[in-house]
Amino acid sequence: MSDAPVLKDFIDRRSVAAVVSAVATAAGGFDEDIILEHIFDHEWERRALKQRIRHIAVSIRPHLPDDYAAALQIMRQAAPGVDGGGMSLWAFNDFVEEYGVDDPDLSLPALEQFTELASSEFAVRPFIVEYPERMATQMLAWARDPSPQVRRLASEGFRPRLPWGMGLPELKKDPAPIIPVLEELKRDPCDDVRRSVANNLNDISKDHPQLVVDLLTEWADDSSEMDALIKHALRTLLKQGHPGALELLGFRRDARVDLIAAVVDPVVVRVGDGTVLSLEIRSTTDAVQRLMVDYAVVFQNASGTGSRKVYKGVVVDLAGGESFALSRKISLAQRTTRRIIAGPHSVEVQVNGDVLARVRFDVVE
């Protein structure tokens, strides 16, 4: 198992103390040690990343005025003065999410300010649920803001399926309010903003694949920036072999190839170790073909149905009659996101979305 730090470890005593100190200064002084003692209680090590951030915000709240407007003003004064807050700066956004949803007139300008230091993408989501029409207008206004951090918030906060974020079920059903924001940002000069647009479209594609394909077909031009956005936005549909997504990027679904070899070695591997997939394909046509060669591992799971995960391989332009070989290591290390279970596994070779072969291997304790 790896000893590498996880994200929650960056919410540490030094960074939390920096936040508490700045708030204490803005508030005119209070006992910082009492707050820190409350924050770093016996449950601290068990708390996940977002739980730690919420705990910081909740621990600070009793030391501020009861009136939300007065408390928020102190937090807004404190935020620019934090020295070394790192990921603990998210406590400012979380303070608004926890205590300010009932007062959007005060809270939304604060989130706009705080996102310059640490993204408000999580904190803005309860406001989208509570005030959908107002927030559609607000997101479009933020999409036109001079600040790239604010413009990114307009897209990232509006994602229907933001990882770690509150779900937005109404936008999963109907993403129409999102589209004007993405239209505004699709050629943004900031790479991070355009990447957020692509992430948002990838979210939408999980519920409305053809909508995303049609939209990106309209957006396509000869620029490298748009090409990168389209590829990133279509990543899920490409793994699924969606015909429209493949066609948009120049891949034929019915690639004319033969699979010469597909071998997994070793075929018996222990949990924690790895095996290697080696494959070779050959073109069976005279014309040059653009091929997306991927592989999918079907992991054993508790239900016995198998859990399939597609891994990106390579994109290659294969000349007529030419052969191409690829080798990839398959890790069977235990991870927090996937538990490796002993039993039969398999790997599938996938070319332009079509599975050409499945090769079995066994995982043992």
Annotated domain spans of the chain: 1-123, 132-250, 257-364
Q: Which two tokens stand for residue 246?
A: 């493949």
Q: Are 327 and 313 in contact (CB under 8 A)?
A: no
pTM for the model stands at 0.85
Q: What is the pLDDT of residue 336?
A: 78
CA nearest to 291, candidates 265, 310, 313: 313
Q: Which two tokens stand for residue 269?
A: 């591997």
Q: What is the pLDDT of residue 154?
A: 98
- Mean confidence (pLDDT) of the chain: 94
Rounded mean pLDDT of 323-343?
92
Q: What is the pLDDT of residue 5?
A: 63
Q: How many CA atoms lie within 13 A of 62 on its CB side?
A: 10
CATH 3.40.190.10 fits 257-364, yes or no: no
Q: Domain 132-250: give its CATH code.
A: 1.25.40.290
Q: What is the pLDDT of residue 326?
A: 95
Work out the number of other CB atoms within 10 angstroms of the CB of residue 246: 23
Rounded mean pLDDT of 326-355?
92
Residues 352-365: pLDDT tens digits? 989 999 999 999 99
Residues 267-326: pLDDT tens digits? 999 999 999 999 999 999 999 999 999 999 999 988 888 899 999 889 999 999 999 999
Residues 119-135: pLDDT tens digits? 999 999 999 999 999 99
> What is the DSSP pairing of strand 323-331 with strand 343-351?
unpaired
DSSP letter for each residue of 263-325: EEESSEEETT-EEEEEEEEEE-SSS-EEEEEEEEEEE--TTSS-EEEEEEEEEEEEPTT-EEE
- The end-to-end CA distance of the chain, in Å, is 15
Rounded mean pLDDT of 95-103?
98
Q: What is the pLDDT of residue 2?
A: 44
Which has more pLDDT, 305 or 264?
A: 264
Percentage of residues in the chain with pLDDT exceeding 90?
88
Least confident interval from 110-114, 169-173, 249-253, 350-354: 249-253
Least confident interval from 97-101, 208-212, 311-315, 357-361: 311-315
Whether residue 87 is predicted with pLDDT greater than 90 in this model: the reply is yes
Whether residue 1 is predicted with pLDDT greater than 50 in this model: the reply is no
Farthest CA pair distance, the chain: 78
* pLDDT bracket for residue 4 (50, 70, 90): low
CA distance 182 to 202: 12
Rounded mean pLDDT of 333-346?
90
Burial class (CB in 10 A: 0-12, 13-18, 19+), 140: middle
Q: Are 259 and 356 in contact (CB under 8 A)?
A: yes
CA distance 57 to 346: 46
Residues near 257 by beta carbon (within 8 Å), at least 6 away in sequence: 281, 282, 283, 284, 289, 291, 318, 351, 356
To 5 degrees, how large is the angle CA 129–CA 133–CA 136? 85
To 5 degrees, how large is the angle CA 92–CA 95–CA 101? 125
Whether residue 204 is predicted with pLDDT greater than 80 in this model: the reply is yes
